[in-house]
Amino acid sequence: MKVRTPAVAGMFYPGEPHHLEQLLERFFLEAGPDRGCDPFAIVAPHAGYVYSGAVAASAYATLPRDFDGTFVVVGPSHGGYPTCASSIPWETPLGIVDVDEDLVRALGIPVNELYMRDEHALEVQMPFIKYRFPRARVAPVMMGLQDLGSAELLGARIERAITGTGRDVRVVASSDFSHYVPAPVARSQDLYAIEALADLDLELFYERIAERRVSACGYGPIAVACTVAEALGARHARLVRYATSGDVTGDHASVVGYAALAVV
């Protein structure tokens, strides 16, 4: 069976299964009891787990633990590749995450496993899904162009695939926020952009990113997730947790920002 093998295990997250399980258990304990809001979509960061794992767990903790549907995981293309999907299972140190092949076909997006081979923005979400939702499947989508028009078109395509297949789906937008700026600057500009999502105002979200030059790497996937969620009945995005790498390293001079959001 052909599978997508891990590219960043042992770098972004532990490659040893027991160590990875212990780390994820700690993150979810820190996130607290199930939050129970069951959002249509979440936003989770994709940096090294030591820096952003606790924030990511806070996003996944908003979903019911017994969710066994499909996660459409949308991440940015760090390699500059065009939008594509994956139709093969994804291997993690905790086991295989199966792909919802019917939903991937329904998306009508070109499949390219080669482009997916080294993309960490999608890979780092898979151990969270395998650990927390062991029966869930995924439909991995790597996004190329991230302008608002492209995001709305991709979001509409995903929504049509969900409706057409009747799948129980949650969307995961994989994104970090500000990169390598002082912590007060990161917090100020990131929260300024996130505030625009309170009412799912994507035009304002893009305007604020441009205005403050917010170096979020997955603003397109965030817009995709909000587009899909709104079409399915969501009305706003709620900030669950915000942190920076400086909260871990103690170096606040140059940080990366991380946010967990629930779109409900």
Residues near 211 by beta carbon (within 8 Å), at least 6 away in sequence: none
Query: At CA 41, angle to CA 91 and CA 89, rounded to 5?
Result: 15
What's 80's domain CATH number?
Answer: 3.40.830.10
Share of the chain above pLDDT 90, in %: 97
Q: Are strands 95-97 and 90-92 parallel, antiparallel or unpaired?
A: antiparallel
Tokens of 127: 């151990």
Q: How far apart are CA 18 and CA 114, in angstroms?
A: 29
Q: For position 232, what pLDDT does the model report?
A: 97
248 lies in a domain?
yes
Report how many domains make up the chain: 1
8 lies in a domain?
no
Residue 46 has pLDDT above 70, yes or no: yes
The whole domain housing 124 covers 34-263
21 lies in a domain?
no
2 lies in a domain?
no
Q: For position 36, what pLDDT does the model report?
A: 62
Cβ(15)–Cβ(93) below 8 Å = yes
Output the pTM of the full model: 0.97
Q: For position 205, what pLDDT does the model report?
A: 98
